[in-house]
Amino acid sequence: MAQITASTGGNTAIQGEKVSGPWRDAWRTFRKNKIAMIGLIMIVLFVIIALLAPVIAPYDFKAQELGDRLKPPSSEHWFGTDDLGRDLFTRVLYGARISLWVGTFSVIGSIILGTILGILAGFYGKWIDMIISRLFDILLAFPSILLAIAIVAILGPSLQNALYAIAIVNIPTYGRLVRAKVLSLKNEEYITAARAIGMKNSGILLRHILPNSLTPIIVQGTLGIATAIIEAAALGFLGLGAQPPAPEWGKMLSDSRQFIATAPWTVVFPGISIMLTVLAFNLMGDGLRDALDPRMKN
What are the residue boundaries of the structural domains of the chain, listed by start? 23-59+89-296
Q: Quick one: average pLDDT of 133-158?
A: 91
Measured distance CA(81)–CA(263) in Å, rounded: 9
Q: How do residues 261-283 score in pLDDT, each as one tens digit?
A: 899 999 999 999 999 999 999 99
Q: What is the pTM of this model?
A: 0.85
Judged against a pLDDT cut of 70, whether residue 42 lies above it is answered with yes
Least confident of 145-149, 172-176, 243-247, 294-298: 294-298
Please state, for a pLDDT cut of 70, what percent of the chain lies above it.
Answer: 91
Measured distance CA(58)–CA(73) in Å, rounded: 14
> Bigger pLDDT: 276 or 211?
276
Judged against a pLDDT cut of 90, whether residue 167 lies above it is answered with yes
With vertex at residue 271, the alpha carbon angle to CA 270 and CA 274, rounded to the nearest 5 degrees, is 90
Alpha-carbon torsion (223, 111, 151, 104), positive or negative: negative
Q: Quick one: average pLDDT of 96-104?
A: 92
Residue 116 to residues 61, 179, 205, 206: CA-CA distances in angstroms? 40, 9, 10, 11
* Residue 166 pLDDT level (bands cut at 50, 70, 90): very high
Please state which CATH number belongs to domain 23-59+89-296.
Answer: 1.10.3720.10
Judged against a pLDDT cut of 90, whether residue 6 lies above it is answered with no
Residues 6+ apart with CB under 8 A from 12: none
* Residue 112 pLDDT level (bands cut at 50, 70, 90): very high
Average of per-residue pLDDT values in the chain: 85
Measured distance CA(281)–CA(222) in Å, rounded: 6
Among 163, 143, 137, CA closest to 152: 163
87 forms bridges with which residues in the sheet? 81
pLDDT of residue 207: 80
